[in-house]
Amino acid sequence: MKFICTALAVCFLFPLAEAQSTNDAAARSNILALEHAWDQGLEREDVKALSAIFDNSVLIIDYDGKLLTKPEYLARVKLNTARLHGVVASDMSVQLFGNVAIVVGVYRASVIEGGKPYTRRGRFSDTWVMEGSNWMCIAAIATPILR
């Protein structure tokens, strides 16, 4: 009897676990794609693309420590005096908690500001939430990596 109960549990629960694993993999892939779209949006100063990624109530602590709302962040991108090139996020880890995801990673960007080139490096943590059928960024923080 114990064997039958165990066998039935495995038969019913394994497909559920497998489906959850597939859903988690798809969510992680989708979120990583959004992270890369964010990088591309910054390089291209594409405010429209970036706007679609952020929830209207998003709060962003930018690399310089300023707390920005969505309109403030998008205005900063649009009016940016520092030209970003080669924005690359790496070493990203996605942790899922139901309909919430936390992404932690490292970024690097080549910057030209005031005619002078330099490289900006930092760590970031982004919080995403599933809204309907879309993942939206609701909070982000970037911290410089100092040598």
pLDDT at 7 > cutoff 90: no
Instruction: Give the tokens for residue 115.
Output: 């005619």
Q: Which amino acid is at 137?
A: C
Q: Are 59 and 68 in contact (CB under 8 A)?
A: yes
Which residues span the domain enclosing 117?
Answer: 2-144
Residue of 47 and 22 predicted with greater confidence: 47
- Residue 25 phi, psi dihedral angles, 5° rounding: -65, -40
Tell me the CATH number at 71: 3.10.450.50
Lowest pLDDT segment from 11-20, 51-60, 118-127: 11-20
**pTM as predicted:** 0.81
Q: What is the pLDDT of residues 27-36, one digit of tens each?
A: 999 999 999 9
Report the pLDDT value the prediction gives residue 84, as an integer from 0 to 100.
76
The number of residues making up the chain comes to 147
The Cβ of residue 35 has, within 10 Å, a number of other Cβ atoms equal to 20
**54-61 and 134-144: which strand pairing?**
parallel
pLDDT in tens, 62-116: 989 999 999 999 999 888 766 777 888 999 999 999 999 999 999 998 888 888 8
pLDDT digits (tens, 9 = 90+) for 41-53: 998 999 999 999 9
pLDDT of residue 67: 98
Higher pLDDT, 60 or 111: 60
Residue-level pLDDT at 94: 98
Higher pLDDT, 94 or 146: 94
Q: Give the residue carrying structure tokens 């943590």.
A: 125
Count up the domains in the chain and report the number. 1
